Structures are given as C-alpha cells and as structure tokens.
Amino acid sequence: MQRATSPKGDSGARRSLASDSQGAAYAEFLIAFPIVTILFLSLVQLSLLYVAKLSVRHAANRAVRAAIVVLPDDPAFYDGEEINQVDFDEVGGAEPADLVFGGEPSAGRGSPRIRAIRSAAYLPLIHLAPSVTLTEEVQSSIRTAVAATGDSFVTEAIRYNRAATSVTFPERPGSDDLRERFGPRELITARVTYVFHCGVPLVKRFICDAAMELGLPGAGAPAESRRPSGFGRLDRTGGPHSDIARGLDEMQHAELFPGIAPWAERGRFLYLRAEASMPNQGAGYRYE
C-alpha cells in the first residue's frame, strides 16, 4: 500500500506566496490615498469657511458704518424717505449701486436707505459667491471652488449676493427681535446673515447642509421634510431657536431671496452670521 503525500512543490509555493512582498507599496498607497485625499479636501473646505466667516464679519462692520451715516442723511438723496428708519418690504427701483462691478440695474426689496446699507455689505462678500450657476461640472471641480475670474463670475456674484445676503438690525446684540426705526444717538447693531456655498467635492456633504435642510427657495422639497444634519453647530434641531430657523427667518429680509433658487437646486450651504455695533452719528434736527 502506498501512502499519499503532498508534493514538495506545493508547500514551497505556499511559503513563497506568504513571504512575497512585491506590490506592497502599491497596496498601501491604495489604502492611504483616499484618507489623505479626504483630509486634504476637508482642510481646503474648512479654510474657505474660515475666510468666509472673516468676510461676513467685515461685511457687518461695513454695514453698521454705512448705517450710522445713511440713516440720518438728507432724505433728498433717498427718494424722500424719513431719516433714521428703513422699510424692508418696500419694492425699490433700480439704484446706481446696482451698476457697481458690472452689475445690471434691477429692482429689489427694500427702501432706498436699506439698499444703500446693503451695498456696503455686498462688497466684501463678492469673492465668496459661486463662480457660475451650479452645474454638475462645477460641482465636481476643485478649481471652481477655490478661484474664479471673468465677467461671468462678477455678474453671477452680484446676483448671488442679492439673494444670499441679509442685513438686519436687532434690538440689541444677539437679540432675535428686529427693528426699523432708530434714535439720533442710539446704539445701532447691524447683523449680516449670509448663505455660504460649500463647493469642495466630497467633503461638502458632511461639512455643510443641503438646500432643503436650510429651507432655501428652489430646493425641491417642502420645509417640513428637512432633517437635522451638518457639522460645527451647537443647535441643529430646526426648532424656533436653532441657527437654521433664525437664519431662515433673517433671510426673509434679503433683497432678492427667491433668486437663490438656481444655486439651491444643487449644492451644499451654511448660514453664517456676524454683528457689529456703533452709535448713530446723526444730529437730532430735521432737514428742510
């Protein structure tokens, strides 16, 4: 009787395969590359978000500086509007400020004084706007999330700012109660609320919110379908005192808030807010 034995070649091949290190670097690269890439993209998006927060803070400073000059100014320069007051619901005509940086004259919501104050806040936010109306090509491009130039960018940036920027005046710093009338030497607080567009692929999905979660016009979903999500907020519940609810309420005072619909169809966003306070510089007399 013959005893069955395994060939010596089989055991040698198994030992050779177990000790074979060829291609290890390639395999390690495939494992590490996605992690490093996501980390890099996250740093890019967070850096852009940090720059955006500084820009919104600067916009609030410009808004309050404009307010303390514009509010008490001669009504003759503001279609006869009374001093130290604004009207967010008035439908304004085309203003000279509409032509700044190649824009086109267009009517928007708000009395002449609030529109003049908004124009001061728009300038620092120009570079934050999406380069063009969002398309799938733009959504998948890192270059368009970081830099954009040309006439089309300027035109779309102005249009986006009119829809995505709100300038309001709380009763006091941090208050949810807004006002439209002011005293001659009263402390004025200007709040700028901005809908920041997150444009870096992949990571924007877990850093920023979908448009329907923020209740943006044109998001394609009713407000009651929003679900809490996102990153970096203390209160994301969507309740009456959450950042999302407060941001959405303040955006109702934007010049052309429904105009954000072309961008809201796709994309991810965050509400950014900043405040600045200064005393009203106007005298107590009336202009004749």
pLDDT of residue 261: 87
Q: Is the pLDDT of residue 5 over 70?
A: no
Q: How far is CA 197 from CA 1, 3, 18, 32, 228, in A?
A: 81, 75, 51, 29, 18
pLDDT of residue 78: 87
Q: Which among 252, 179, 178 is positioned nearest to 214, based on CA atoms?
A: 252
| DSSP H stretches of helix in the chain | 8-19, 24-70, 112-122, 136-139, 142-146, 151-164, 204-207, 211-214, 243-251, 261-264
The CA-to-CA distance between both ends of the chain, in Å, stands at 127
Task: Name the band, by pLDDT with cuts 50, 70 and 90, for residue 27.
Answer: confident
Report pLDDT digits (tens) over 120-146: 999 899 889 886 554 444 444 555 555
Q: Which has more confidence, 203 or 22?
A: 203
* pLDDT for the residue 179: 93
What are the residues whose beta carbons fall under 8 Å from the beta carbon of 24, sequence distance 6 or more?
A: none
Give me the pLDDT at residue 237, please: 45
pLDDT of residue 229: 41
Looking at the whole model, is its pTM more than 0.75? yes
Mean residue pLDDT of the chain comes to 77
pLDDT 10s digits, 187-243: 999 999 999 999 888 888 888 888 888 888 887 644 334 444 433 333 444 454 467
Assign 254 a pLDDT band (cuts: 50, 70, 90).
Answer: very high
21: helix, strand or coil: coil
**Are 115 and 94 in contact, with CB atoms under 8 Å apart?**
no
Q: Give the tokens for residue 189.
A: 């607080």
